Amino acid sequence: MKTVKFVNIAAQFNSLRDEILKKIDDVCQSGSFILGNELKEFEQNFASYCGCRYAVGVANGTDALFLVMKALGIGRGDEVITAPNSFLATAGAIIAAGAKPVFADVRDDYNIDPNKIEEAITGRTKAIMPVHLTGRPADMSAILDIAKRHGLYVIEDAAQSVGASYNGKKAGSFGIAGCFSFHPLKTLNAYGDGGAITTNDTALYEKLVKIRNHGLKNRDECEMWGYNSRLDNLQAAILNVKLRYLDGWNRRKREMAAMYRERLHGVVKVPVDAQGEEPVYHTFIVQCERRNEMMQHLLKLGVETKVHYPIPIHLQEAASLLGYKEGNFPVAEAQAKRILSLPIYPELSDEELEVVCDAVRSFYSGLT
Ligand X SMILES: *Cc1c(COP(=O)(O)O)cnc(C)c1O
Nearest to 58 by CA among 220, 223, 239, 221: 239
- Distance from C-alpha of 113 to C-alpha of 133, rounded to nearest angstrom: 12
We find the least distance from the C-beta atom of residue 135 to ligand X, in angstroms, to be 10
Q: How many residues bind ligand X (CB under 6 A)?
A: 15
Of 60 and 352, CB closest to ligand X: 60
Q: Which of 87, 103, 153, 249 binds ligand X (CB under 6 A)?
A: 87
Residue ranges in 11-40 that form contacts with ligand X under rule CB under 6 A: none
- Select from 68-76, 85-93, 284-292, 326-334 the region that touches ligand X (CB under 6 A): 85-93
Residue ranges in 221-260 that form contacts with ligand X under rule CB under 6 A: none
**Interface with ligand X includes 196 (CB under 6 A)?**
no
**Interface with ligand X includes 62 (CB under 6 A)?**
yes
**Interface with ligand X includes 85 (CB under 6 A)?**
no
State phi, psi for 290 to the nearest 5 degrees.
50, 50
SS3 362: helix
- Select from 55-63, 261-269, 309-317, 360-368 the region that touches ligand X (CB under 6 A): 55-63
Of 65 and 264, CB closest to ligand X: 65
We find the least distance from the C-beta atom of residue 194 to ligand X, in angstroms, to be 7
String marking each residue 172-191 x if it binds ligand X according to CB under 6 A:
---------x-x--------
DSSP state letters, 313-325: GGGSGGGGGGT--
| Sheet-wide strand order for 54-58 | 54-58, 195-199, 177-181, 153-157, 125-129, 79-82, 100-103
We find the least distance from the C-beta atom of residue 63 to ligand X, in angstroms, to be 7
- Select from 69-77, 86-94, 122-130, 248-256 the region that touches ligand X (CB under 6 A): 86-94
Q: Which of 27, 42, 56, 61 binds ligand X (CB under 6 A)?
A: 61
- Distance from C-alpha of 205 to C-alpha of 84, rounded to nearest angstrom: 29
Cβ 199 vs Cβ 172: under 8 Å:
no
CB atoms under 10 Å from CB of 169, counted, come to 15
CB atoms under 10 Å from CB of 157, counted, come to 30
String marking each residue 140-159 x if it binds ligand X according to CB under 6 A:
-----------------x-x
Of 102 and 360, CB closest to ligand X: 102
Half-sphere exposure of residue 146: CA atoms within 13 angstroms, side-chain side: 24
- Distance from C-alpha of 256 to C-alpha of 252, rounded to nearest angstrom: 6
Residue ranges in 302-341 that form contacts with ligand X under rule CB under 6 A: none
- Distance from C-alpha of 157 to C-alpha of 82, rounded to nearest angstrom: 9
**Interface with ligand X includes 100 (CB under 6 A)?**
no
Cβ 175 vs Cβ 154: under 8 Å:
yes
- Select from 82-90, 250-258, 286-294, 354-362 the region that touches ligand X (CB under 6 A): 82-90
Please report, as ranges, the residues that interact with ligand X according to CB under 6 A.
60-62, 86-87, 89-90, 131, 157, 159-160, 181, 183, 193, 195
